[in-house]
Structure 1
Amino acid sequence: MTALTDTFTLRNGVRIPKVGFGTWQVPDGDVAYNAVANALKAGYRHIDTAWQYQNEKSVGKAIRDSGIPRDQIFVTTKLPAKSKSYDESLKFFEETMQNLGLDYVDLYLIHAPWPWEEMGADYSKENVEVWRAMEKIYKSGRAKAIGISNFNVQDQKNILENCEIEPMVNQLQYYIGYTEPQNVQFAKESGMLVEAFSPLATGYLLKNDTVADIAKQNNVTIAQLAIKYCIQHDILPLPKAVNPAHINENKELDFVIPDEDMETLDSLVDTAPGEDHNE
Structure 2
Amino acid sequence: MQRLTNANRLNMPKLGLGTWPMLGEDCTKAVMQALELGYRHIDTAAAYDNEEAVGAALTATSVPREEIHVTTKVWWDQLEPQKLHASFERSLKALSSDYVDLFLIHWPTKDWDLPRTIKALVALKESGKAKAIGVANFPLPLLREVVEGLGAPLAALQVEFHVLLGQAKLLDYCLAHDIALTAYSPLARNKVSEVPELIAIADKHGMLPTQVALAWLLDQQGVAAVPKAAGRTNQLSNLNALNIRLDDEDRAKIAALPKDQRLVNPAFAPNWSDGE
Q: When the two structures are superposed, what TM-score results if normalisation uses the length of structure 2?
A: 0.91
- Give the aligned partner of residue 242 of structure 1: 230
Give the one of 157, 163, 182 matched to 1:195: 182
Contact 1:10 1:16 in 2 (8 A): no
Contact 2:182 2:225 in 1 (8 A): yes
Residue 249 (structure 1) shift: 1.4
SS state at 1:95 partner = helix
Q: Does 1:61 align with 2:49?
A: no
Deviation per CA, 1:162-185: give whole Å up to 9, x if none.
Answer: 435421101111000212222222
Deviation per CA, 1:239-266: give whole Å up to 9, x if none.
Answer: 1101111111111131210012112102
- Give the aligned partner of residue 15 of structure 1: 11
Contact 2:184 2:226 in 1 (8 A): yes
Contact 1:80 1:111 in 2 (8 A): yes
Give the one of 254, 257, 273 matched to 1:268: 257
Give the one of 89, 92, 105 matched to 2:84: 89
Paired residue type of 1:163? L
Q: Does 1:24 align with 2:20?
A: yes
Distance 2:199 2:151 in 1: 45
Gap runs ≥5 in structure 2: none
Distance 2:253 2:17 in 1: 27
Give the one of 177, 195, 199 matched to 2:164: 177
Q: Does 1:226 align with 2:213?
A: yes
SS state at 1:250 partner = helix
Residue 212 (structure 1) shift: 1.3
Contact 1:20 1:45 in 2 (8 A): yes
Q: Does 1:208 align with 2:204?
A: no
Paired-residue identity, %: 29
Gap runs ≥5 in structure 1: 115-121
Paired residue type of 2:145? N
Give the one of 128, 135, 138 matched to 1:141: 128
CA root-mean-square deviation: 1.7
Q: Does 1:111 align with 2:100?
A: no
Give the one of 182, 186, 190 matched to 2:173: 186
Contact 2:9 2:132 in 1 (8 A): no
* Number of residue pairs the alignment of both structures matches: 265
SS state at 2:71 partner = strand
Q: When the two structures are superposed, what TM-score results if normalisation uses the length of structure 1?
A: 0.90
Residue 270 (structure 1) shift: 5.5
